[in-house]
Structure formats: structure tokens, C-alpha cells
Structure 1
Amino acid sequence: MGVIIPAILIASATLVAWLFFKHLLLRHRLKDLNQPRSYPIVGHGLIIKPDPEGFMNQVIGMGYLFPDPRMCLLWIGPMPCLMLYSADLVEPIFTSSKNLDKGFAYQMLEPWLGVSILTSGKDKWRPKRKLLTPTFHYDILKDFLPIFNEQAKILVQKMSTYGKDDEIDILAIITLCTLDIICETSMGRTVGAQTEENNEYVWAVHTINELISKRTNNPLIWTKSVYNLTQDGKTHEKCLKILHGFTKKVITERKQALEVAGYKMEGRLAFLDLLLDMVQSGQMDEKDVQAEVDTLMFEGHDTTSAGLTWALHLIGNHPHVQRKIQAELDEVLGDDEDVTTEHLSRFKYLECVLKESLRIRPSVPIIMRELSVDQVIGGITIPKGVCLLINQFLVHRDPTQWKDPEVFDPDRFLPENSIGRKPFAFIPFSAGSRNCIGQRFALIEEKVILAQILRHFDVTAIEPMHEIRPKMEIIMRPVSPVHLKISRRNQVVSY
């Protein structure tokens, strides 16, 4: 025993010394990159703001502090993260077939979303993507148009109860609408969120987003055993029980209903039906179904509600843009109550507005990749294992691609004004082979909801653009509520 303990201590000290030496070598190799002053092991941990708004300000500040080349190195504890924010610098990443692994931050999502198409490494992602891509075929998505219209009209009716002087917290009511839509499209289940108050699922989604963002920025609580001892860790577990309890219950009920029907796939199918059919045919197991359903529930309503909120705030600050949208809606829709596939293809200006809103306020502000091989970026060889922070928020503000990037101008996306723009200057849904599988679903849903709102109402933003600041979480949400006033239009269709 007298020999074993000293041997263990010596071995431990040797390992720590070796890891520290290896860390110093990595720091030396990356020393020529743009970066604020940092320290070994703790990195920038002593100066990183723990709150989402403060962290957002720091990240944006780094972008403006190092404008050429548009990249800088951040150390989150001992982990080097190279932030890229130009179309030219992100291009080799998105066009690579090798650097498809997500960064370490996505491991924080696994307790909630499992090993899903969002969180999995490239080896597991490839077969998942191949398997799930047909479920997002346009022929399937267009069958969801009646759901989009129905829930959007419920939202319109709800908005009709407000007076013209009332100030509406638009994110709160939009979120319930998108939750109803994703429940019905992904699980074939109507939950009536728009008619309920204080929906606990919405609370759990928003809360767990905040908790995961805080945890990602603090290496001291990355370890599960440590995190579970904190108050945030206990709240995280409460959120997981709510989120998983809801989806597990619906999956079980849907599976039982399909078994009774002998797995006859008739009528409009929800994504869950298609996934359970894959289980029946042996293409995936039930654990995979849980992970993908939770991912759909998160990405399918949270990103969309944020995107719609930002779009309405921007539209409400620009009356001339709103009038052009409404003129297009009146011409295309006429007296038709519902938006159809034929209408969608004719919403040219509305699509420009949505794209410009996603440029200025992308629903997902940053995505993370981990280099699987050494990669030359901006003329510098970045070693394997370094995480990349692809800052979509700042890519969309690259002055070489966007004139007056802080100005809201939907005309940027007219065909004649898009000539010569770099293909990776606009990446709200990521890009390349690992882009967002649900981007077409999201754009169709947002078009339908905006069309139904703006054909019935004029919206006026209470707060100007600069007063509503974004915060850096998994999803980019406003720091404070976004308030709108609405007034009934004359050229409307009555339901």
C-alpha cells in the first residue's frame, strides 16, 4: 500500500503535466490568430458574460474588434473555438464532406434530444439524414397546409379580441400557434395550446434553452454529476420530465392506434406515423423515434415562433414594407380563405421580407462544428479537434456582401439585386449537406401565418428596432417582450 499511493500520485501528476504541456502546445500553434488576451486552462472564462444578452454583446463585439480577416479565437475554458463570420471563410467548411461533426456544445442537448439528426456525429448522422429526408418531401409538406391555415386562423381570431390600443406581447401568442402546428404535424395530436393559459411545455422549452446556454459557457458545470447538484441542474431535470413525458405519452398512444389499424397508412400522415412505420419495417428503433420527435418539437416550433416574432417586429417598424406585402396578399389571395400551394409560389415580395428578416435576425445565431481533419481557413492551418463557431448573425452583416447591413431592406433579395452575392453570405438554415432538414417546412409555415395576419390587420411595433435587443441562446430571442398594436383592415375575408 505504501508503494501504490505514491505511484498513483506520480502517475496522476504526470498525466496532468502532459495534458497541460499539450494544451500549451495547442495555444502556441494558434497564437497568430486574432484573439483577445486569455490564460492557459481558464481561457476567456474569467471575462465571459454568463447572461445571454451580455454574451451576445461580447460575441458581436469580437466581430467588430477583428474585422480583417473576419475570424477570431475564443477559449471556452481549455477549448479553443474559432469564430468565423464571413462568406469566404465559412465556404470551405460548408462544402467539405469531412467536417460534419457538431461541436461539444451539442452534447448539452443530448439529455433532451438524444442522439438525433441534430446532435449526432457524422457517422450516425449520414444514415439518419438519408432515412428522414423523404419525410420532408414537398408532397408531404403540402398536405400540412390545412393545418397551417387552421391554426393561423385561430391566431387571427385570438388577435381580433384585442383593441386597437392594446399592446400585444406577440412572441407569447405566436409560440402557442406554432406549438399547436408542430404537435399536429409531427405527432398527429391537437393539444389546443392557443386556447390554454400557462402551457408548461412552452415554459419547459424556453427554460431549458436558457439553462443549456448558461451551462455551455461555464466549463465548471459541464460534468453531469456536478451540474445535477446545482439549482439549475434540478430545474433542468424538471424540464426534461415535462418535455419527455409529453412526447412519450403521445408516441405510445399513436403506436397503439396504428397497431389497432394494422399500420394502414391512410389520409394525412404526421411525421410520427412515418417514423413508427420505419420502426415496424426495422429501419429504426423506438429510441430513435423519441429523439427525432423531441428534436422536431423543439426545432419545429421554437425557431419558427422566434422567426415570426422578429419578422412582425421589423414589418411593424416599416409601414411601407407592410403596405407592399398587403398589396401582394390582396392581389394573390383575393377572396380565398386559405393559402394554397399556388398562392405560395406567387408570394414573391413576402418571401423577400422573410429572407431579409432572417438575415437581420436569424433564428439560430451560431452553429458549431468540430474539425475532423486539419483545415486551412483564411490562409492558416487550423488543427483537427478545434471547434468552429459559425456566426450566422455576423456573416449576415459582412460589409463585403451587404451594403448598409443594419438596414432592413427586403429589396436586397430581388433577383436583380442578388447577382454576384456569395452563395454562403445568407445561411439562416446553415448550409451544405448538413443544412436544416426542415427549412422548407419552416418557410411555408411562416408564409401562411404572416399572410393570414397581415391580410386582416395592420401591425404597428411599439418599440423601435434598436430597443429590442437579441440574446444569444440556442435560439435568438428578444431580451424584452416585443409589443405590437393591431388594427383591423378593411380588405379582409371574414371566417
Structure 2
Amino acid sequence: MNVPTEYIFALATIILIPIYYYYTKLHRIEKFFETFPTPTTVPILGNARDLRSSAALFKNLHAYVRNYGKMVHIKIGPIGHVLVCSDYKFIEFLLTSNKLLKKSFNFKLLEPWLGTGLATADGGVKWRAHRKLITTAFHFKILEQFVDVFESTGDILVQKLSKESGNQSVDVFPYLTRCTLDIICETAMGTKVDTQNSEASSYVQSVKTMCKIFLSRTMSILKRYDCIFRFTKDYEIQQKCLKILHGYTNNVIDSKRRELEEKRKDKKWRDVDDLGRRKKKVFLDLLLEGTVDGQSMSDKEIREEVDTFMFGGHDTTATAVSFILYCLANNKEVQDKVLEEQKELFGNEKNPKVTYSNIQEMKYLENVVKEGLRLYSPVPLFSRRIDQDVEYDGTIIPKGVGVLIFGHGIHMDPQYYPNPEKFDPSRFENLDGRYPFAFIPFSAGPRNCIGQKYAMLEIKCLLSKIVRNFELFPASPHHEMMLAVEIVLKSLTGVKISLKSR
């Protein structure tokens, strides 16, 4: 029987493409990883079973570092290879590079939600232009204006927590998530949403669900592929969450647009203050009024950046404050020093008029915050995709290698932090600055967190207010946190403490 030539050609193509891919790309990557230790694997799955849940991922990454060292090769499925790194020298090399800026493939799984905003963009022209525009939203003159919002929103938080005063155990995290969501909306978006006075927030719940789905897809050999994911229950759930999340941010954007249009119509409105100085624009103003390369940002681009900052600006901050409150509740000596510093600034006044300069004077509290960020890093993992052959320490790292920077791993390294399990803010009084890349809660280098000064200011403001109003104690019965990575570090058992009004 004569077989048509085109069929033979098609069959040969089907056979040869995988062979070509293996020897030109995958084979080089596999050869590179031969020099690194690999935890015990199982056929087909590799190390995927070790990473089957958010809690297992966090626990086993630390186990890999302890048992195999600071540069570990793990396999996910039959062809997935990742370098898990908590080595100082390599972290410095990677994070300071102006070329190796691409996030890992897994971040594409966030694009249905966050699009290609600053957090997920590949580090190209669009990313650089947007970052340059948005950076101006975090000028210290703008941050000064936000303190009043931090304070007023924090006052509502104190009212809510007062209802829990005297209870032996309260999970503070839900209170903080609603508070920080209100703060990000009013400061960066210029819109009040009053989430704290709602019984529940569908937005907050949808964020939580999307984080879980992202992690589930990341660790799954099959669900990471869209063609398979579309037929799963998680896909249906994701679509419902996206409707809520995008609906929420679209409402915020529309509200701000209407406000700006009304201001333009108002002949008395001026964009300068009483001294004739041009008013600083907040984040959403910049997006709506700004241009990139002479072009206004599209509605889609604006929503992507708003979605990114709505998520990053409330969830990570709420996580940080919750964990630090837990540390203070379980370390009375440190809590007493924080209170002493507050009294030096404000006497016994629980609700003073707090200014930007007051917050800058809270030096001990700043060390407390840094130690909390070290011990419970809100974003414990960063990823990069090596998108070009690059030389490191005499070795060529081939294009296609995926790197997982285990920031929490280096934060718990006794080489840089003796007795790393201990909550000890004094260690930040003695650091000499020789190892800046041993403390990376906000990442570092060109892709560092653009809002880190905003976050530090907000965290200090909320903590100082809570400590002035409440004495913190460990929860009763004893509360053990179960740490897990769901994009942001979380405790699956909540963050529980006891509060008593001062």
C-alpha cells in the first residue's frame, strides 16, 4: 500500500519535534542540574508529592535546605526542573541583574486575574514604562498625606477589636485584611469602600480562593495546562472569583473616573495647594491621567495595575501585621519596649495626633517590624526564569532554567541570623550592612517591591495604634500556627492571640 508523502512527513515531524526539543533545550537543562543535589524522586512525579499542599511545600523547602544545602534541584513531573536557592551569592547575582527579570512560567497562571501588571509582567518595555510612572505615587510627600488615612481607618480597627477584648482567643487576621483593604482603596485608589463595617467581604474571600487555586495549579502536573484546567471544578470556581474581583476593581476605577470628571467641571477646583504647589497625584490618578510613550494607558492596563496593587497592597500587609502581633503577644518583654517607646512619644495618650515624623521616630518598632518580616516573611518565595544563557561563577546557566529564590530560607540561615527561630528585634540594631541580600522581605534589585516604604509606614502605624490600646497575650488554649505558602505566607489555623483593653 502506498502511503502519501504528506502523511510520512507529518509522522516524521511528530517524532522529530520532541527529539529536537530534548537535545536542544531539555538535555542542556538536565546536564546543568546534574551538578546539584536532588531529593529522592519517584517515577513520573519527581518531587511533586513533597509539594502536594501549601503546608507541605513550606515544610519541605526548609527540609531540602537542611538536608541538601542552599542550592537544590527538584523535579516536578517528568520534565519540570527547578533550582531552589537560598544561597547568598547566587541571590545577589540574580536579584541585581538588569537582564534576568522574567518571572517563572507559573506566574502566567495569575494572568486571568492580574493580567500583565507590575507583579507578573516579563520585565520588558511595558514593565519598565509602567514602573517608572507608578514610582512617583510613592514619593514621601504623598506618603505623608496617607498617615491620616492610616490613623482613621486604624481607629475603626481598634473599635472592632475592642469587642474581642477579654476573649481568650481571637483570630486577628480577618480584622486586618478588611482594615488594609479599606486603607489601600482610600490611599492608593482615592475611594472609600468601608469593608470593615461589612459583615463579610466577597473580595477578600475571592482573593483567598484565587491564591489557593494558583498554588494548586503550580504544584499539579496536569492542571497547570489550560486545556486540562478548563475541565476542572477549580476553573468554575476561578471564573466566579474573577467576576467578583474584576467587578470590584472596575467599580473602584469607575468611581474615580466620575470624581475626576466632576472636578474638571468644577471651576473652583484647582490642582495646586494654597501655596501654589502642584498637588501630588495618588496611584490611580496617575494611571487615569498619565501617559506611557505619549499614549494613555488602556482600560485593560489600568485594571491590571489596580488588581495588582489591590491584592499586593492589602494581603501582604495584613499578613505582616498579624504575624507581628502574634510575636508581640508571645514576647511580653518586646511588647513592653514597644509600649515604652510609644509613651516617650505620646505620653499615656492612646489616640494622639500621629504625624509622619512621629512614625519615623519609632526606631525600636521598626526593628520589631523587620524581625517580624524576617521570621514570617509575607512573600517567602520569588521566582525567575532564565531566558538567556548566562555565566555564573564560571558555569553557564542555560536558557530555560527555572529558579525559586527561597527568601525565607536565607532569613532562617544561622550564618546570618544566630538562633534564627528566636524573635529578637535587637539583632537589627547590630547588623553592619555587609549582607544586604540576607534580608529580602520586599525582594531586591530592579524588581523589588515598589511599595515597600508605603508598607513599612502602614505596618508601623497600625502596630503602634494597637499596642497603645491593647495589651496582647498568647491565646488560650495554646495556639500553634500551621504555616503555608499561598502566594503569601498564611497560617492555616489562623493567627490567634488574646487582647485586653489598656
Question: TM-score over 0.5 for the alignment?
Answer: yes
> SS state of the match for residue 442, structure 1?
helix
Matching residue of 1:277: 289
Cα distance, 1:329 vs structure 2: 0.7
CA 206–117 in structure 1, closer or farther in 2 if over 3 Å, else same: same
Partners of 1:327 and 1:16 lie apart in 2 by 66
Cα distance, 1:256 vs structure 2: 2.7
> SS state of the match for residue 121, structure 1?
coil
Contact 1:314 1:408 in 2 (8 A): yes
Provide, for residues 328-378 of structure 1, a one-character-per-residue CA deviation record: whole Å limited to 9, x for no partner.
Answer: 011112346232112112101000000000001000010001123334456
Contact 1:184 1:270 in 2 (8 A): no
Provide, for residues 386-432 of structure 1, a one-character-per-residue CA deviation record: whole Å limited to 9, x for no partner.
Answer: 11111111010122111111111000111xx1126411110000001
Provide, for residues 422-461 of structure 1, a one-character-per-residue CA deviation record: whole Å limited to 9, x for no partner.
Answer: 1111000000121000001111000110011000111112
Matched, 1:154 2:156: yes
- Choose from 452, 476, 489 the match for 2:465: 452
Matching residue of 2:108: 107
> SS state of the match for residue 343, structure 1?
helix
Matching residue of 1:35: 38
Matching residue of 2:276: none
* Number of positions where the alignment pairs a residue of Structure 1 with one of Structure 2: 484
Contact 2:168 2:476 in 1 (8 A): no
Contact 2:102 2:384 in 1 (8 A): yes
Deviates more, 1:253-262 or 1:97-106: 253-262
Matching residue of 2:248: 246
State the AA in 1 paired with 2:227: S
- Choose from 220, 226, 229 the match for 2:228: 226
Contact 1:116 1:292 in 2 (8 A): yes
Cα distance, 1:259 vs structure 2: 2.2
CA 268–192 in structure 1, closer or farther in 2 if over 3 Å, else same: farther
- Choose from 332, 335, 346 the match for 1:333: 346
Partners of 1:398 and 1:460 lie apart in 2 by 28
Cα distance, 1:39 vs structure 2: 6.8
Provide, for residues 149-179 of structure 1, a one-character-per-residue CA deviation record: whole Å limited to 9, x for no partner.
Answer: 0010111111112241342110011111001
State the AA in 2 paired with 1:338: K
State the AA in 2 paired with 1:285: S
Matching residue of 2:388: 373
Partners of 2:189 and 2:5 lie apart in 1 by 61
Matched, 1:194 2:196: yes
Matched, 1:73 2:97: no
Contact 2:329 2:335 in 1 (8 A): yes
> SS state of the match for residue 187, structure 1?
coil
Matching residue of 2:374: 359
Contact 1:148 1:445 in 2 (8 A): yes
Matching residue of 2:448: 435
Partners of 1:311 and 1:241 lie apart in 2 by 33
Matching residue of 1:388: 403
Partners of 1:463 and 1:36 lie apart in 2 by 39
| TM-score, with length taken from structure 1 | 0.93
Partners of 2:271 and 2:225 lie apart in 1 by 44
- Choose from 274, 298, 303 the match for 2:316: 303
Contact 1:87 1:425 in 2 (8 A): yes
| TM-score, with length taken from structure 2 | 0.91
Contact 1:314 1:465 in 2 (8 A): no
- Choose from 47, 50, 73 the match for 1:48: 50
State the AA in 1 paired with 2:76: I
Matching residue of 1:405: 420
Matching residue of 1:58: 60
Partners of 1:11 and 1:162 lie apart in 2 by 67
Provide, for residues 298-343 of structure 1, a one-character-per-residue CA deviation record: whole Å limited to 9, x for no partner.
Answer: 0000000001111001111100000000000111123462321121
Partners of 2:460 and 2:353 lie apart in 1 by 12
Cα distance, 1:23 vs structure 2: 2.4
Matching residue of 1:315: 328
CA RMSD of aligned residues (A): 2.2
Partners of 2:490 and 2:14 lie apart in 1 by 44
CA 413–35 in structure 1, closer or farther in 2 if over 3 Å, else same: same
CA 484–37 in structure 1, closer or farther in 2 if over 3 Å, else same: closer
Partners of 1:338 and 1:391 lie apart in 2 by 40
Indicate the percent of aligned positions where both proteins have the same amino acid: 36
Cα distance, 1:289 vs structure 2: 0.9
Contact 1:401 1:421 in 2 (8 A): no
Contact 1:369 1:389 in 2 (8 A): yes
Partners of 1:269 and 1:420 lie apart in 2 by 34
